[in-house]
Amino acid sequence: MAEIVLYHHIQGLTDGVRGFAGELRRDGHTVHTPDLFEGRTFASIEDGFAFAGEAGLDQVRERGIAEAEALGQELVYAGFSFGVTVAQRLAQTRPGARGALFFDSCLPVKEFGTAWPEGVPVQIHGKENDEFFEEDLPSARELVGSAANAELFVYPGDQHLFADSSLAAYDPEAAGALLERVRSFLASL
């Protein structure tokens, strides 16, 4: 079983993110869900960004890094959208990463180094017409093209945060496929 650090999206640690973590826990994994917004959740992406901007985006991300540093090193780093910014940084820079799971986002590999770390498998998931993921799709394709064990799954539709069951963007069919692929990924570690 894997030990996972799952970072929430810009709307906070919602019931949908907690539910996703719960699914992985039922499979026997240990899942940590750091609350980077200290209990606050937001009704919209814009409200979440406004809060994070006021709090300081870098300070919020540093909270997530500190949470991971308090744990062991053999972790799977996972994130939804904004949470990918923390998960990807840790997966690329912290020794001992077992894997990475990116939902709704992917940054250029060069943000955190020159190459994806050898031996660290990664899965990236997003909607083909999601306005936020569309701008990250070239980075996702580049990562997949440069890493030995990387997969990209693009689902039909335009919903951002489609795997969060507590949001209107939730797509049960795509979220179910994502969860099954994540389960297979974790079982292979």
pLDDT digits (tens, 9 = 90+) for 72-101: 999 999 999 999 999 999 999 999 999 999
Residue type, 16: G
pLDDT of residue 114: 84
pLDDT of residue 113: 87
pLDDT of residue 79: 98
pLDDT of residue 175: 98
Q: pTM for the complete prediction?
A: 0.97
CATH number for the domain that contains residue 113: 3.40.50.1820
Q: Which region, left, alpha or beta, applies to residue 187 given φ > 0 means left and ψ of -120 to 50 means alpha?
A: alpha
Q: How many CB atoms lie within 10 A of CB 179?
A: 16
Crossing angle of helices 82-93 and 57-69, rounded to 10° = 50
Structural domain containing residue 150: 3-187
pLDDT of residue 18: 98
What averages of pLDDT result for each successive group of 10 residues across the chain (189 residues)? 98 98 98 96 96 90 94 96 98 96 98 93 98 97 96 98 98 98 98
The span from the CA of 55 to the CA of 27, in Å, is 35
Identify the three-state secondary structure at position 21. Answer: helix
Q: How many CB atoms lie within 10 A of CB 82?
A: 27
The span from the CA of 87 to the CA of 159, in Å, is 21
Do 117 and 92 contact (CB within 8 A), yes or no? yes
Q: How many domains does the chain have?
A: 1
Residue type, 147: A
Identify the three-state secondary structure at position 73. Answer: coil
